[in-house]
Amino acid sequence: HQASQVPQANMYVNEPSVVSQSRIEETDFNIAKIIILAIFSIGTSVAMMYEFGEFLSSFQYAFLWFGVITLLMFLVLNILNTFFIKRFSILAGIVLLEAGLPVLFFMDRIKTEAWPIAIGFTLFFIFILWGMQRGRSHLANSVKIKFFSIAKTVTPKLVTGVLIGVSVIFYMNCFSVGGACVEGLGREVLNQTLTASTPIVNIWVPNVSANQTINEFFKQFALSEMARVQSEGGLTSAINLKSGISDLPIEVREKIVNQFSGEIRKAAEEKIGPLNSKASVRNEAFRLISEYIGKFSDVTKSLISIGLAILFFFSLKGFGFLLYWFINFIAFLIYKLLIAANFAAVDYETRNREFVILP
């Protein structure tokens, strides 16, 4: 009986064992610091969505700048959470609140427009958590903590998740039932487009602008056209000027300009419909575009609005790609500052492998 127990004893003696050379365990044991990180992370998520929603409702640029600042803070905090918070369940809970609480802004529309909210903020949750988990895996398989190497695996997914959330805000505020920014956004886009194109238009038609009334615009257009045709030796309309218009008396000149501008306006109205003489060019342009879009079916309008929301997302995504380095740099500075302030500390699991904890 004693002899039969010897091999069993040897088996236990020869089993390898892992001996940790760290003074402290790589785990979450400072709950207070985790709560602080969670409050700031969730708070910046809610603030970010609120600021962007208010901007799209009012077009006051102060909301936009605060939104950008809170967006940057949100990304930085979630990068830091990837390094500091060890337990996946805690990270998942924080991200769930980051994605879930902004939904409260749409409680009045959640019964009628639940699908964009559900899809958008579910994707927001998935991408944020996916990015953080990729960073955690990279960190677990690294001997040394190479901050930028780990952060660059986290940031793209975080940015994608955030921009999906912002795109949902854009869609809900601009295109859904009860959306408030359709007219404001449309006017802003049209105004910026007209302002940007004015110098180009002035190359062919000097001194016209979208701020002029319809009458002023066509008069200026008529003067420009008459000057051009005069230099070519005649006019193709009923008016025929062989000499410069500036040499004519003011009354005659005004009559000729009004007659010619009236002909041009009549030709334009035959194609686009009646125009309000006293309205500005930009207001009439917006009215005509609105009336044209208003003739579309509800299905077509829905497809256009979804397409614009997707275009909005990819436009921001292309621009955000250029800022990854800046986001990671700010996160790195705060990471070093927190370590210097003893909010976090770097230790060693073995003689070589580093990890960071919240002591």
The percent of residues above 90 in pLDDT, for the chain, comes to: 24
3-class DSSP state of 297: coil
Q: Which of 11-15, 108-112, 251-255 has the highest mean pLDDT?
A: 251-255
First to last CA, the chain: 52
The pLDDT confidence band at residue 59, using thresholds 50, 70 and 90, is confident
Taking residues 294-317, what's their average pLDDT? 81
Tokens of 76: 């930085």
The pLDDT score that the predictor gives to residue 208 is: 84
The pLDDT score that the predictor gives to residue 68 is: 93
Q: Which residue has the higher pLDDT, 200 or 245?
A: 200
How confident is the model over 213-222, as pLDDT tens digits? 888 888 888 8
Report the C-alpha gap between 51 and 28 in whole angstroms: 33
Taking 60 as the threshold, does the pLDDT of residue 21 lie above it?
A: no
Residues 6+ positions from 180 with CB-CB distance below 8 Å: 56, 57, 173
Q: What's at 232, amino acid-wise?
A: E
For residues 93-126, one letter each, b for 16 or more C-beta atoms within 10 angstroms of the residue's C-beta and e for the rest, the string is ebbebbbbebbebbeebeeebeebbeebbebbbb
Are the beta carbons of 224 and 205 closer than 8 angstroms? Answer: yes
Give the HSE-up count for residue 78: Cα atoms under 13 Å, Cβ half-sphere.
Answer: 39
- Start-end of H helices in 145-278: 147-174, 182-204, 214-232, 250-272
How confident is the model over 61-109, as pLDDT tens digits? 899 999 999 999 999 999 999 988 888 899 999 999 999 888 887 776 6
How confident is the model over 252-301, as pLDDT tens digits? 667 777 788 888 888 888 888 888 888 888 888 888 887 887 787 777 87
Flag the least confident range among 102-116, 135-149, 190-204: 102-116
Question: Global pTM?
Answer: 0.69
The pLDDT score that the predictor gives to residue 250 is: 66
The pLDDT score that the predictor gives to residue 16 is: 45
Q: Which of 135-144, 152-161, 261-270, 316-325 has the highest mean pLDDT?
A: 152-161
3-class DSSP state of 154: helix
Report the C-alpha gap between 347 and 359 in whole angstroms: 10
3-class DSSP state of 309: helix
Are the beta carbons of 289 and 194 closer than 8 angstroms? Answer: no
* Gyration radius of the chain over CA positions: 32
**Would you call 51 exposed, middle or buried from its count of C-beta atoms within 10 A (0-12, 13-18, 19+)?**
buried
At 355, phi and psi to the nearest 5? -150, 160
The pLDDT confidence band at residue 350, using thresholds 50, 70 and 90, is low
Nearest Cα to Cα of residue 86 among 171, 27, 160: 27
Q: Which residue has the higher pLDDT, 354 or 242?
A: 354
The pLDDT score that the predictor gives to residue 131 is: 93
Taking 70 as the threshold, does the pLDDT of residue 339 lie above it?
A: yes
Residue reference for tokens 């040897």: 10
Taking 60 as the threshold, does the pLDDT of residue 6 lie above it?
A: no
